Amino acid sequence: MQSVLDMLTSGVHDAKNQLFVAESAVVRAEMEHGIVLDEARFAIEHAARRLQRVLTAYRCERDLLAPDIGIVHITDLLDELRLLNDAHLRAAGLTLDIACAAELPPWPMDRELMLDVLSNAVHNASRYARTRVRLRAGQDAEGLHLMVEDDGPGFDTTDAEEMTRRGLGLYVARAIARAHRRGDAVGRLELSNGGALGGAAFRLVLP
């Protein structure tokens, strides 16, 4: 008998295949009719990532999350995040800034999980930002800091424990941060208001 995880994995895979078919149809329409459907493609890709996030949440809840840790160049990670999100933000009239501390070393992390978590944070920021969203990366004695900031009104509460009970994205983000460990140090999620742009600030700290 299939386990619940097997059935969920199969269902998510089938749903993502259907979304891929829809995305292919959008691309054909763009080519045949000379139109640009960036927002349609973004919506399809976002839905596919959300499906994957549901599966990740189940793994987190069952203590089955096993990050695939590799060495990641931070500038490459930020560049890929720009490619994933820039068109959507421009369509919303927002500017995406990237600020990366000079000479950041490559860092051990699960690249795909980080891309998903940070893309979701950028998407959430875009819903509340007035004019801009900023991706920042820096390092201190505690580890690598990956931040998403906006110039919106900020969080109504910065209590991460409470916020992770409100939505799937923050729940998964905190679990993924905690799954990144080095010795006794454990990754964490921090939420604050103010930040470089004066609005909400989402921060992952990876040891």
Find out whether 151 and 132 touch, Cβ atoms under 8 Å.
yes
| pLDDT value of residue 96 | 96
- Based on the fold, state whether residues 117 and 78 are members of the same structural domain: yes
* Residues 199, 123 share a domain: yes
CB atoms within 10 A of CB 91: 13
Is there a single domain that holds both residue 202 and residue 140? yes
Average pLDDT over residues 22-31: 74
> Is the model's pLDDT at 11 over the cut of 70?
no
If asked whether residues 56 and 88 sit together in one domain, one would say: no
Considering only 35-39, 140-144, 175-179, 196-200, which range has the smallest mean pLDDT?
A: 35-39
Query: Is residue 189 scored above 70 in pLDDT?
Result: yes
**Structure confidence at residue 3 (pLDDT):** 67
Instruction: Write b or e for each residue in 44-55: b if 16 or more Cβ atoms lie within 10 A of its Cβ, otherwise e.
Output: bbbbbbebbbeb
Percent over 90 (pLDDT), the chain: 55
Most confident of 7-11, 19-23, 72-76: 72-76
When pLDDT is averaged across residues 80-93 and rounded to a whole number, the result is 90
Percent helix / strand / coil, the chain, rounded to 5: 50, 20, 25
- Best-predicted range by mean pLDDT among 3-12, 25-34, 121-130? 121-130
Same domain, 77 and 128: yes
**What's the domain count of the chain?**
2
Looking at 61, 84, 108, which one is the last position of a domain?
A: 61
Residues 41 and 135 in one domain: no
pLDDT at site 1? 38
> For all residues of the chain together, what is the average pLDDT?
86
Same domain, 100 and 137: yes
More confident site: 40 or 134 = 134
Query: Do 91 and 182 fall within a single domain?
Result: yes
Residues 74 and 130 grouped into a single domain: yes
CATH code assigned at 192: 3.30.565.10
Domain end: 18, 40, 61, which one? 61
pLDDT score for 201: 97
CA angle 83, 84, 85 (to 5 degrees): 95
Q: Which of 17-26, 153-162, 187-196 has the lowest mean pLDDT?
A: 17-26
Q: Do 156 and 190 sit in the same domain of this protein?
A: yes
Task: Based on the fold, state whether residues 52 and 77 are members of the same structural domain.
Answer: no
> Of 4-13, 25-34, 87-96, 124-133, which range is least confident?
4-13
Note down the domain range covering 30: 4-61
Model confidence at 60: pLDDT above 90 = no
Select from 61, 84, 105 the last residue of a domain.
61
- 62 burial type by CB count under 10 A (0-12 exposed, 13-18 middle, 19+ buried): exposed
pLDDT reported for residue 79? 95
Do both 8 and 110 map to the same domain?
A: no
Tell me: pLDDT of 42 over 80: no
pLDDT band at 2 (very low <50, low <70, confident <90, very high): very low
Task: Please check whether residue 86 is in contact with residue 94, taking contact to mean a CB–CB distance below 8 angstroms.
Answer: no
pLDDT above 70 (res 4): no
Q: Which residue has the higher pLDDT, 47 or 150?
A: 150
